[in-house]
Amino acid sequence: MKKKYTVIDTPVHNIDGIAKVTGRAKYTFDVTLPNMLHGKILRSPHPHAKILNIDTSKAEALNGVKAVVTGKDTLGVKQGIWRRYKELCDEEILARSKVRYIGEPVAAVAAVDEDTAEEALDLIEVEYELLQGVFEPLEAIKEGAPQLHEHAERNINVTRHIEWGDVEKGFKKADYVREDWFRCSSQAHVCMETHGAVASFIPEGKLTVWTSTQSHYYIQVLLAGVLDLKENDIRVISRYTGGGFGSKFELDSAQFCSSLLSMKLCKPVKIILTREEEFMATKRRTPMFYYVRAGVKKDGTFLAKEARVFTEGGAYTAMGATALYLTGFFQTFPYVWPSYRYDGYRVYTNTAPTSAMRGFGAPQATFTAETQIDLIADELGIDPIEIRRKNGMYPGYEVPGQAYIQSCGLSQCLDKIEDWVKSRGKLPPNRGIGIAAYGFMSGGIFNWFDTPYAFSSALVQVNIDGKVDLYIGSQDMGQGSNTTMAMICAEELGVHVEDIRLHMGDTDKCPVDLGAWGSRETLMQGNAVKRAAAEAKRQIMEFAVAKMAPNIVYDLDIKDRWVHLIARPERGLSYYDVVKEAIRGKDGQPIIARGHYTPHRKGMISPAYSFGVQAVEAEVEPETGKITLKHCATAHDCGQVINPLGVKGQLEGAIAMAAGYGFTEDLPMDEGKILNPNLVDYKLLRATEMPETEVVEVETYEPEGPFGAKEAGEGLTNPTAGALSNAVYHATGVSIKDLPITPEKVLEALREKNEKKEK
């Protein structure tokens, strides 16, 4: 069969690959500038306290110390990423009068080296007046609980309501109703490159910041806001980012403090967070207390659902407001629920702020929903695949008032996973297979950031030798978007990936894109790139038409560097030759084209949704409760696959992270203090614990995506915890509703089950 595309849908090496395997790729951590100083941040040891006084004189007197800054040296701007809503901009970064979590920055030092800066931190004297803290959302929301922010009574930070259909009627009609309480734990992003920045301010009034980020544009704008500089007097550079996963698109302490210090000194200042700081004081996955009630017919048809969520917000809003909305929306995904009511409450607590993390509220929703669906199916004697098939979303379905589903490969995914489950045959004792279905957005349409720019833009310049400069604003943090964009550009323009010179990660040179979060890049930046490339191609073909003078009804195209008649592909010209002449014809100007994408009238959430079904096979040792993952098979609809190699990598990586969420990773705290802030006690999956991974791509065509593509990497974090909890249920008969599913919890549940049996 002739392939439809010459570039996309064929595995290609990541275009940054050689730089990465040779160690040449320069991350923020690797940036060194002449006369550079090193900074360190002093953080609050208390979860809740007033700052009465900070004496920095001894630190300033230390040999080698160049500057110390505290909240007094700032403009005191309360910032936040939800810029449209003033009350949600609540974080100063360098606290002026009050600290609200352990690890909150109170001062920063610049010195000749890290050791000196560290020593200086010990010499800063902070006088605190301790306040009572509150650490659990269900406590913090009570009347009379300590209040974190003056404006937030009962510590309620944001509330969310979603409703459609007649919920009461739905429950009345139901033959079976069940309700469950779940607790979803926190999770740390654990980017291998910790947060960091090198800031360099020059007397001309310009600030350059190298930083590890998912969105150089957001950092530029947020810095401008807190430093009172013009956005374009700030240049943010971020060529390689050592992991993001949702942790790196808000303004962080390294960026802010290094900028402040550099502005004071007119010298470059570098701050790289330690792993411990990273755990204690950067943002994390939102813990949620989930109540879910569902009503269904005897035959398994879904009728009504009600969900209530209290999230542990931590001390500030961060991106938590989005997670609160998305978890409510994805609670029904990927199913048709004729009626639904959701109420979410984000509650301030004296803990490190919780925010975005890969999946963005959806892993919590999927874990709770999918666990409950298996319990319902079991109760009604319906096969888990069958109940999902019966109620699954389908192309053309409209989530009332929320979203319109165009492409949807859910039913094909269910078929594939059914085949896989059958192929496993009869399982040995203590093994179970659990499945979970999921979906995810391809970029958010919401604009809480209040950007006046298009959501994504791209610029293409075709040069005399046929090489193409592609300027994009999206950020590659490892997910491979640079390669995806180069492939989309090459495919559309009819050239090879090697012809593309990609420019990214620099606000001085690249058009605005909102960055790599919410699975935006493939669809949004991809559409912008495709449009820019199409416009460049149109310009090139104008010259080709003039030269070839075909019958006016014929169309031209470029493929594989060959400009040709579509109807007579052998009749054509070399792309290189046409480009040369076209540029000559344009009085020597290179061919320049722009493209942009902003979603309009695409519902409340996203222009397109990915779908999938995952099966996890797990073994549970009845004596110890120990869980071993054996297999993880996924059927995955991400529309048209752009780079098969990249998609597979996303899938396997997501499984590791999501399985960690399901059964090993947690951030236990005592009075707001994280007890395991290191990579020994925080258990993420190691190579020896990875299951075998099987994947089947189910291809659909998404009309809204470039070449029919949609989200491919983030949604895969959604199903694993739910599939795992179902696997444990089918292996042991106990359902654990409290993440992570640890051996202790399994043992305890087994003991309870046996006790009941004995009675």
Q: Which residues bind to ligand FES, rule: CB under 6 A?
A: 192, 243, 478
Contact 418, 51 (CB under 8 A): no
Q: In the bound complex, what is the minimum distance in angstroms from residue 504's beta carbon to other proteins?
A: 15
Helices (H), 660-742: 720-732
Question: Quick one: what does residue 490 bind among ligand FES, other proteins, none, with the CB cut-off 5 to 8 Å set by partner type?
Answer: none
Compose the 425-464 pattern: x for residues touching other proteins by CB under 8 A, - for all others.
Answer: ----------------------------------------
Q: In the bound complex, what is the minimum distance in angstroms from residue 23's beta carbon to other proteins?
A: 2
Output 274 or 463, the one with its CB closest to ligand FES.
274
Burial of residue 330 (CB within 10 Å: 0-12, 13-18, 19+) is buried
Question: Quick one: what does residue 22 bind among ligand FES, other proteins, none, with the CB cut-off 5 to 8 Å set by partner type?
Answer: other proteins
Q: How far apart are the first and last CA of the chain?
A: 65
Output 170 or 653, the one with its CB closest to other proteins.
653
* C-alpha span between 309 and 327 (Å, rounded): 9
Q: Does 20 bind other proteins (CB under 8 A)?
A: yes
What are the C-alpha distances in Å from 639 to residues 41, 188, 708, 712? 45, 30, 6, 8
Q: In the bound complex, what is the minimum distance in angstroms from residue 603's beta carbon to ligand FES?
A: 33
Strand order in the sheet with 456-462: 500-503, 468-472, 456-462, 591-597
The DSSP string of 573-640 is EEHHHHHHHHHHHTTTPPEEEEEEE---S--SS-S-EEEEEEEEEEEE-TTT--EEEEEEEEEEE-BS
Helix H, strand E, coil C: the string for 631-676 is: EEEEEEECECCCCHHHHHHHHHHHHHHHHHHHHHCCCCEECCEECC
* C-alpha span between 349 and 148 (Å, rounded): 7
The DSSP string of 67-131 is EEEEGGGS----B-S-TT-GGG--B-SS-SSEE-STT-EEEEEEESSHHHHHHHHHH-EEEEEE-
Q: Does 124 bind other proteins (CB under 8 A)?
A: no
Question: Quick one: what does residue 206 bind among ligand FES, other proteins, none, with the CB cut-off 5 to 8 Å set by partner type?
Answer: none
Instruction: Give the residue at shortest CB distance from ligand FES.
Output: 192
Q: In the bound complex, what is the minimum distance in angstroms from residue 478's beta carbon to ligand FES?
A: 5
Q: Which helix (H) or strand (E) holds 693?
A: strand 692-697
Give the interface segment with other proteins, choosing from 442-450, 518-526, 555-563, 688-696 (CB under 8 A).
688-696
| Binding residues among 273-332 for other proteins as defined by CB under 8 A | 274-275
Q: Phi and psi at residue 618, in whole multiples of 5°?
A: -135, 155
Q: Does 21 bind other proteins (CB under 8 A)?
A: yes
Contact 417, 649 (CB under 8 A): no
Q: Does 545 bind other proteins (CB under 8 A)?
A: no
Output 512 or 654, the one with its CB closest to other proteins.
654
CB proximity list for 204: less than 8 A, separation 6 or greater: none
Q: In the bound complex, what is the minimum distance in angstroms from residue 187's beta carbon to other proteins?
A: 11
Q: In the bound complex, what is the minimum distance in angstroms from residue 25's beta carbon to other proteins?
A: 5
Q: Does 692 bind other proteins (CB under 8 A)?
A: yes
Compose the 627-666 pattern: x for residues touching other proteins by CB under 8 A, - for all others.
Answer: ------------------xx-xx-xxxxxxx---------
Angle at 215 between CA 458 and CA 650, to 5 degrees: 90
Question: Quick one: what does residue 693 bind among other proteins, ligand FES, none, with the CB cut-off 5 to 8 Å set by partner type?
Answer: other proteins
Among 439, 478, 599, 672, binds other proteins (CB under 8 A): 478
Among 452, 680, 755, 757, binds other proteins (CB under 8 A): 680
Q: Which helix (H) or strand (E) holds 206?
A: strand 206-211
User: Residue count at the site for other proteins (CB under 8 A)?
Assistant: 58
Distance of CA 167 to the CA centre of its chain: 32
Rg (CA), the chain: 27
Among 2, 4, 23, 549, binds other proteins (CB under 8 A): 23
State the residue for tokens 């090139």: 540
Among 6, 30, 180, 748, binds other proteins (CB under 8 A): 30
Establish how many alpha carbons lie within 13 A of residue 291's alpha carbon, considering only the half-sphere containing its beta carbon. Answer: 10
Question: Quick one: what does residue 35 bind among other proteins, ligand FES, none, with the CB cut-off 5 to 8 Å set by partner type?
Answer: none
* C-alpha span between 590 and 539 (Å, rounded): 11
Output 191 or 709, the one with its CB closest to other proteins.
191
| Binding residues among 383-412 for other proteins as defined by CB under 8 A | none
Among 36, 380, 464, 684, binds other proteins (CB under 8 A): 684
Q: In the bound complex, what is the minimum distance in angstroms from residue 107's beta carbon to other proteins?
A: 22
Output 64 or 603, the one with its CB closest to other proteins.
64
Binding site for other proteins (CB under 8 A): 11, 13-14, 16-27, 29-30, 32, 189-194, 240-245, 274-275, 477-480, 645-646, 648-649, 651-657, 678-680, 684-688, 690, 692-693
